[in-house]
Amino acid sequence: MPTILELRSFRVVIETRDHPPPHVHCKGPGCNARIEIQTRKVMSDNGVSAKDMARLKELIERYEDVLMIEWRRIHG
């Protein structure tokens, strides 16, 4: 599972054996979330603070093109 981006203590990854819709896994210390790339809809949230979630969504929005290129490269 390649790390695509990092934000403070979070790694933003795209898992190789995953499913649509295109999304990323945000893994932090003792918490994680899955967020859709294009809509920034939170698919799951396990302990991510509201402040960190807002930062992660901003990061995903800023790098949406890069993330979609990587999603397509990995998943076809």
Per-residue pLDDT tens over the stretch 31-75: 999 999 999 999 999 999 999 999 999 999 999 999 999 999 999
For residue range 45-54, what is the model confidence (pLDDT) as tens digits?
Answer: 999 999 999 9
| Domain count for the chain | 1
Q: Which domain holds residue 24?
A: 3-75
pTM of the model as a whole: 0.94
Q: How many Å apart are CA 23 and CA 56, to the nearest integer?
A: 12
